[in-house]
Copies of this chain bind each other. A is one copy, B any other.
Amino acid sequence: MEELAESNGRRSVRMADVAAHAGVALGTVSHVLNHPEKVSPHTLERVRRSIDELGFVPNSRARALAAGTSSMIAFIVIDLGNSFFLDMARGAELEAQERGLNLVLANCDMNTDKELVYLSLFDAERMAGVLIAPLPSSADDQWRLQEWQSDVVALNVDASGRGCCVTTDDELGGYLAAQHLIEAGCRRLLFTGGPFSLLPIADRYRGAQRAVAEADGVSLELLRTLQTKPADGRKVGDALAARAADARPDGVLAATDLIAFGIIEALGVQGVSVPDDVKVIGYDNNRQAWESTVPISTMAQPGEEMGRHAVRLLVDEIRNPGSHEHEHVRLTPTLIARESTGT
Contact residues of A with B, CB < 8 Å? 1-10, 12, 55, 57-62, 64-65, 67-74, 80-81, 83, 86, 89-90, 93, 99-107, 109, 120-121, 123-126, 128-129, 147, 149-151, 230, 261, 265, 268, 287-289, 291-293, 315, 317-319, 321-322
Contacts and interface: CB of A to CB of B under 8 A. Distances in A.
B100 A2 contact: yes
Contacts of A72: 125
Contacts of A5: 69-71, 73, 101, 128-129, 315, 318-319
Nearest to A66: B65
B89 A6 contact: no
Contact of A109 (B2, B90, B126): B90
A57 B86 CA distance: 30
Nearest to A62: B65
Contacts of A230: 291
A15 to B, nearest CB: 13
Contacts of A90: 107, 109
17 contacts: A2-B71, A3-B100, A4-B100, A5-B69, A5-B73, A5-B129, A5-B319, A6-B318, A7-B70, A59-B124, A60-B124, A61-B61, A61-B64, A93-B109, A103-B106, A268-B293, A291-B291
A218 to B, nearest CB: 31
A68 B7 contact: yes
Contacts of A12: 126, 149
A100 B4 CA distance: 7
A268 B104 CA distance: 42
A78 to B, nearest CB: 14
A174 to B, nearest CB: 24
Nearest to A109: B90
